[in-house]
Amino acid sequence: MRKHYSKLLLALGMAGVMSVNIFAAVTFKDVSNTHWAYPAISYMQEKGYMSRNSSGEFLPSSEVTYFELAEILAKATGYQDELVVKDMDPTLKKQIADNYAVQKPLLKTYSDKYKSWESRCNEEIAYLIGRGYLSKDELSKFMVKTADGKEVKNIVTKQDLATFLVRVIGKEKTAKESYTGKTPFADHDLIKEENRPYVAYLNKNGLLNGDAKGNMGANTKVTRALCAQMTYSALMFKDKLEQAEKPVTPEKPVTPEAPADDNTFEGRVAKIVAKTDGSGGSYLQIEVNGSNKFYTATKDTKVVDSNNSALSFDAVKANAKVKVTMAKENGVEVLTKIQILDEKDTTPSTKPEGDKDQTAEEVTTYKGTIENIGRSGSISVLTSGKTVTYKVEDNCEILYQGEELAFEDLNVGDNVRIYVEDLGVTKINVLKRQEVENEKMDVEFLKSVRKPDGYKVTVVEKGKEKEVLVSTDVEVIRNGKSVDVSDLRIGDKLTVKMEGNEAIEIEATATTESFIGTVESIILAQNPQLVVLSKGEKKTVSVTNNTELYDASQRVDTVLREIQLGSKVEVLTESKEAISVVIKDAPSQITYKGTVENVGQGAKYIDVLVEYDAVTGETMTVKRINVPSQVEIIVDKEKGYRNQIKKDMEVLVTFNYGEEMYPESIEVIR
């Protein structure tokens, strides 16, 4: 159950990296105050993010499933359950409900697929997706089905937790942009390629370090203690970053005109900075008599117009003249009320040379340079050192040298005079055009996402991903034919003509190939891939939702997870994407190659670090192998005994497909 804290504790939580010693000591039956993760565990318990059981046990060694992690991260990033929090903020309540309604159909596909799917966590999972901490593709990591149809809830790995925590910190983009292509860990090769930028970021900032051998433990199963420690460290680091990034204005001597505690004063909004702590608040920089200072607006700050009619906080804009009421709460200057004052420029404007328009009364004019043109029809203009943003009315008149222009003809950098009436731009005089050069770039297509007005296309340029906006009217030519963006394939070579950050022309070149080979490995990641050995050459192809997968031996359609290693397949590709994969023949056995990590008592079982687990799709994972007496043991190519199997030996473990209880044979190869 979520606990409620006084404003003092909340203020302490905002103050930076804090010790849990400020709270009353927390005791656990199974965690002493000398435990390596005790401070983190205590913090997570006190905040209500993780809990001990009714017996007072925290169970630090218990492994964490993706469902449990979803609950923990959701609570830690602001999620609230209306059944638990009775005084829940109505806005947050609506946001959570609306987001859940959007994600519900997707989550239903998983709860329909898996009988053991923990639907009670769906709202928390939906919250994480909505906040961008969890991608929709990553839902496939929550559960898998074994070859015999058994449903298994996956345990979170250390490298996956690292990825989620970087997103929680809010530095996913920074991690990707700063990644140099290598992590400092000895087990770098065990870290999935898509996780490496996140791991490197945490290491660079002191949140993830190696063991005595320099390993990070990429595939270590996350325990509750490890989860508490890593999450706690990430939350403290995030709080520290937010404090460092909080706008700071040098204090000036207090003048008679400066506002005092519990005072009401007038000023002009110079800047609005949204807080990133999930509270829904903002920092407002307000100019009063030439002096600028930041104040805090919370979700409880009341916003009204000049007639005291209630408004949403979105009505507060930069450059607005306001009357505010301020009070100090625990040393923080908080705005309790913001009144937006009417402000009309009723003085006829003096026309600059070249601007022939007549300015009507009750119209505010701004002269400056276009900084941004919103796709929803807004325009931002830099004028007198400040940026103003307004919606452009549908009937807005746009003129340049006596000729009428369309809104789409405007460019960032154009010098303009805009005419604002009732918070909308009714006229734009373009005084000087910004010359725009059409840039061409040669890239490789990766993926596209459909948007209401076009596509967001991800391409790869010199090894780095970048996004390009493509409207529905852009001509796309692929191998000489006009196609839709959705017809592009992974690996297509693109020549893109750009105007700003939008594509205005795309020419794609695709290659087609057909080959037969043997399945070497299957990568079940965010971008699934199939590795096939054909005529001595390893070919890696991407498998998408459009790829046709057919088992000719069974005469049925299949899915990537069901393809067996060693299967003979015929693959048809366009560029790097598989158009079809036909299974010609499947093996009757599956063999794991790996190193013995642990030998159980009497060698009745062994734990093997396998290179690839075809059942779960994991790479470099520890698999427990039962070794009853009937299992054939081969040592030095001769019959052996299970007590000859020792730690660090390399083995080949062979199972008959469909019989996963114990293997057919174990061969020691070194």
Q: Is the pLDDT of residue 22 over 80?
A: no
Q: Which residue has the higher pLDDT, 93 or 615?
A: 93
Average pLDDT on 236-245 reads 82
Rounded to the nearest angstrom, the gap between the alpha carbon of residue 553 and the centroid of all alpha carbons in its chain is: 40
Degrees, nearest 5: CA angle 9-12-17: 135
Average pLDDT on 191-216 reads 90
**Given this model, what pLDDT does residue 619 score?**
67
φ, ψ for residue 107 (rounded to 5)?
-65, -30
**Given this model, what pLDDT does residue 435 score?**
62
Q: Is residue 377 within 8 Å of residue 395, measured between CB atoms?
A: no
User: What is the share, in percent, of the chain residues with pLDDT greater than 70?
Assistant: 85
Confidence band of 260 (pLDDT split at 50, 70, 90): very low
Q: Is residue 581 within 8 Å of residue 562, measured between CB atoms?
A: no
Same fold, 263-340 and 439-509: yes
Top CATH class of 589-668 equals mainly beta
DSSP symbol at 554:
T
Q: Which residue has the higher pLDDT, 195 or 52?
A: 195
Q: Is residue 460 within 8 Å of residue 444, measured between CB atoms?
A: yes
Q: How many H-runs (helices) and E-runs (strands) does the chain carry? A: 9, 34
CB-based contacts of 252: which residues, under 8 Å, 6+ apart?
258, 291
Model confidence pLDDT, tens digit, residues 362-414: 688 888 888 888 766 788 888 877 788 888 888 899 988 777 888 888 888 88
279 Rama class: left (phi>0) / alpha (psi -120 to 50) / beta: alpha
H-type alpha helices, 567-626:
none
Longest dimension (CA), the chain: 102
CB atoms closer than 10 angstroms to residue 104: 13
CB-based contacts of 520: which residues, under 8 Å, 6+ apart?
531, 532, 533, 538, 565
Average pLDDT on 207-223 reads 89
**Do β-strands 364-373 and 378-383 pair in parallel, antiparallel, or remain unpaired?**
antiparallel
Both structure tokens of 559: 């899915």
Confidence band of 331 (pLDDT split at 50, 70, 90): low
Helix (H) or strand (E) holding 503: strand 502-509
**Given this model, what pLDDT does residue 499 score?**
73
CB-based contacts of 400: which residues, under 8 Å, 6+ apart?
429, 430, 433
φ, ψ for residue 532 (rounded to 5)?
-120, 130
Tell me which residue has tokens 């070194």.
670
The fold of 439-509 is: OB fold (Dihydrolipoamide Acetyltransferase, E2P) (2.40.50)
Give the mean pLDDT of the chain.
Answer: 82
Residue type, 74: A
Locate the domains of the chain by residue range: 7-243, 263-340, 364-432, 439-509, 512-585, 589-668
Helix (H) or strand (E) holding 178: helix 172-178
Residue type, 658: G
**Given this model, what pLDDT does residue 616 score?**
59
Q: Which residue has the higher pLDDT, 191 or 89?
A: 191
Dist CA 222 CA 37 (whole Å): 13
CATH of 263-340 among 3.30.9.10, 3.30.2350.10, 2.40.50.140, 3.20.20.300: 2.40.50.140
User: What is the share, in percent, of the chain residues with pLDDT greater than 90?
Assistant: 31
**Given this model, what pLDDT does residue 511 score?**
93
Confidence band of 85 (pLDDT split at 50, 70, 90): confident
**Does the domain spanning 364-432 belong to CATH 2.40.50.140?**
yes
Q: Which CATH architecture has domain 512-585?
A: Beta Barrel (2.40)
DSSP symbol at 242:
H
Confidence band of 351 (pLDDT split at 50, 70, 90): very low
Model confidence pLDDT, tens digit, residues 572-617: 999 999 999 999 888 777 788 889 999 999 899 999 988 766 655 5
Model confidence pLDDT, tens digit, residues 271-280: 777 665 566 7
Rounded to the nearest angstrom, the gap between the alpha carbon of residue 160 and the centroid of all alpha carbons in its chain is: 12
**Given this model, what pLDDT does residue 437 score?**
54
